[in-house]
Amino acid sequence: MDRKKVAILLEDFVEDVEFIYPFYRFKEEGYIVDVLAPRVGEFTGKKGLIFHSSHRVDPDAVEQYIALFIPGGYAPDRFRRDKETIEFIRRMYESGKVVGAICHGPWALISAGIIKGKRVTGFFSIKDDIQNAGAIYTGKPVEVDGNLITATDPKAMPEMLKIMTAMLRERV
């Protein structure tokens, strides 16, 4: 396993800034960043930017990564539809890797079945979904519960990524 490798999920209609900011923030910290999607290819963000995935999501590749970042926008609704993506998320979490999700990203955490009893935040419109999945919705800009870190929206990204990269430094 490369202890300096981070995965970021990608799908169409990702919130552009929630993909770009963490991608470059992890690179600034010296991490190798793999962009994972259900297929290798081109994807269009909510604001129309074009992004490319470097790898297909592979649940058996969990050991290659130290962390996973799940951006928001409408992409999480698409992540939920892909069994391999959901299994990858579940395995990352269960193996103790740092898992971050922002905005609507907790939808994917719900589908992975990993938030019951956890303190979680996310975009206010998915509060009911988070609570109905058995999590404690805090509404804080950033929430940390064990190896899970969640945030509400792009305004929370500086704090979220500061905390997340600090968590990763402790593990490398």
Q: Report the DSSP pairing between strands 119-120 and 148-151.
A: unpaired
Query: Nearest Cα to 98, choosing from 11, 5, 1?
Result: 5
Contact (Cβ atoms closer than 8 angstroms) between residue 25 and residue 87: no
Query: Nearest Cα to 100, choosing from 62, 157, 52, 43?
Result: 157
Catalytic residue, from 90, 104, 105, 109: name it. 104
Is 52 among the catalytic positions?
no
How far apart are the C-alpha atoms of 60 and 140, rounded to whole Å?
33
Contact (Cβ atoms closer than 8 angstroms) between residue 159 and residue 133: no
Query: Nearest Cα to 169, choosing from 39, 32, 4?
Result: 4
How far apart are the C-alpha atoms of 93 and 105, rounded to whole Å?
14
Query: Strand, helix or coil at 104?
Result: coil
Active centre residues (catalytic): 104
